[in-house]
A and B are shown apart, each in its own frame.
Chain A
Amino acid sequence: MNLQNIFNQIENTDPEIYERLDGRRELMQRFTKLGSKFALTAVPVVLGGMLNKAYSQAPASIVSILNFALTLEYLESTFYAKGLATSGLIPESQRPSFDSIAKHELDHVQFLSSTIIALGGTPVAKPTFDYTAKGTFPDVFATKDYATFLALSQTFEDTGVRAYKGQAGGLISNNDVLTAALQIHSVEARHASHIRSVRAALGASTKPWITLNNTGIGAAVAASYAGEENTNQLGVNIKALPSIKGGSSTSADTATEAFDEPLTKAQVLTIVMPFIQ
């Protein structure tokens, strides 16, 4: 096995490999040191570990996550823009709130796009959306069905919160991007809380927080709340913790409301795909 050849091939594939590691000389030195300790058969494993270190935190995976987030922000941003542009849909008294939410989503679109470009990536194009989700929901922009508009809004916001949460771990290598994603994540949660209150005031069975896996909407959006019924955190059974009411038990409602759950990228895409034409 010729290490020099391996290095040359890696260099051809990625001229910046040594910037990701500690420079070619140090890499060689590490292998030289290892040579006395390891059989040559172990080299691929060691090399793999080093390359993993070099690439597991590479912008590519981060750009991919940000583009995923950008797609969700487009879904929300376009939805609110259309809603605000549809006269007779959003009551006057609620327009300031939706102006604010719409502006945030547009800010997120712009922030994510510029961050992706700064990382050397290419922002995904804005999809064309079908807010009936292939006929699952009425066309709120045609029917001016405010209740369904709010239900979709709640679902998008709660799904967004869960989507960002699910991606946080994938951003742990980049402090700036992770922090920004968390800062978007909590804004989506603020939106969700507000929308849920608006729906509650109109008679929906919702609170600002998510109880069990209750949708407060119906089976059509069940996937957006699946898993919220989890009551185990880091191996701690929340229901077995002491509550203020005394005794060593916390209600399932409290245990699930107190912790929002993540969704995987695959779960989110399953939810979102019907909305993309």
Chain B
Amino acid sequence: MKTLKKLESIPVNGSMHRRKFLGYVGGTAAVATVIAACNHSDDFTGSLEATNGPSPVNLGSGDVGILNYAYALEQLEAAFYKQVITTQYSGMTADETSLLTDIRDHEVAHREFFKAALGSAAIPALTVNFTSINFSSRDSVLTTAKTFEDLGVSAYNGAGKLIKDVNYLLVAGKIVSVEARHAAYIRDLISYGSFANDNVVNPVTGLDLANDPPTVLKAASAYIATQINASYLPTK
């Protein structure tokens, strides 16, 4: 397949602008088609449980770098909620099970979306490190969920200005508000009414958190075994 070959020739994690990326395949619809054709080669389940030591991952530069950055965070969240639902904490109510399962499915959809949209420019599956999380403890699980959701919101808020293509900016906007919905729900589970408290919303300006990639990745690194190189990401 000629198109596929061209797509595969794009350097993984390399710098690539959307126009150039699309130039390889002739349009977004074509990207989706090519990606659908590629999916079978990469086993969907269990990819995060790599047994060999993880090799460092380079997010790349430009918009692709930012999308890979988001893909990394979504991988982390999806893996976390997968575990939350697989090994449910004691006393998880039916409502909690239902809505935490929803969140898991959303994060998986985000992860698979980025994987598909990035195609061969996507970073590989990351290896997570959840040794600090006690999945049988409601407190431990919800506190970690809050950390991840608030971190995700602050990451997308901080990354918006680094995105050049308005279409990518829009899709980041479509995802960040869902992360904020998750964050509010989790926060209310922990402490009712804390959905947007002063820890996340500035009490003077009414603005939510926004963090740059180094800050976010430093916080996330406690839960990701794979070393991530973000040094080529845009900074303004």
Q: Report whether A259 and B178 are in contact in the complex, using a CB–CB cutoff of 8 Å.
A: yes
**Complex CA–CA separation, A250 to B107 (angstroms):** 12
On whether the beta carbons of B206 and A111 are closer than 8 Å, the reply is yes
Say what secondary structure dominates the interface of chain B: helix
CB contacts under 8 Å to A, within B9-42, are: 27-32, 35-36, 39
Map CB proximity to A onto B150-188 as digits: 1 under 8 Å, 0 otherwise. 000100111011010011111101111111111111001
Q: Is the CB of A185 within 8 A of B32?
A: no
Are B236 and A175 in contact (CB-based, < 8 A)? yes
Interface flag for A254 (CB, 8 Å)? yes
Instruction: Flag if A179 contacts B158 (CB, 8 Å).
Output: yes
A108 interfacial by beta-carbon distance below 8 Å: yes
Asked if B161 and A190 sit within 8 Å, CB to CB, the answer is: no
Q: A180-B207, A184-B208 are in contact. List 13 more A-B contacts (CB 8 A).
A: A169-B169, A179-B157, A186-B153, A190-B180, A191-B195, A234-B171, A235-B27, A236-B35, A241-B112, A242-B112, A258-B110, A259-B174, A261-B174
Give the distance in Å from the alpha carbon of A23 to the alpha carbon of B34 in the complex. 47
Residues of A within 8 A of B179 (CB): 186
Q: List 10 A-B contacts (CB under 8 A).
A: A100-B193, A168-B170, A190-B183, A197-B188, A234-B31, A235-B29, A236-B28, A242-B112, A257-B102, A257-B178
Contacting B at CB under 8 A, from A121-171, are 161, 164-165, 168-169
CB of A83 within 8 Å of the partner chain: no
A194 interface contact, C-beta 8 A: yes
Is the C-beta of B104 less than 8 angstroms from some C-beta in chain A?
yes
**CB atoms of A169 and B176 under 8 A apart:** no
Q: Say whether B178 contacts A96, CB under 8 Å.
A: no
Least Cβ–Cβ distance between B74 and chain A, in angstroms? 10
Report the Cα distance A248→B195, complex, angstroms.
34
Shortest Cβ distance from B169 into chain A, in angstroms?
6
Interface digits, B101-119 against A, CB 8 Å rule (1 contact, 0 not)? 0101110111011001100
- Say yes or no for A62: interface residue by CB 8 A criterion: no
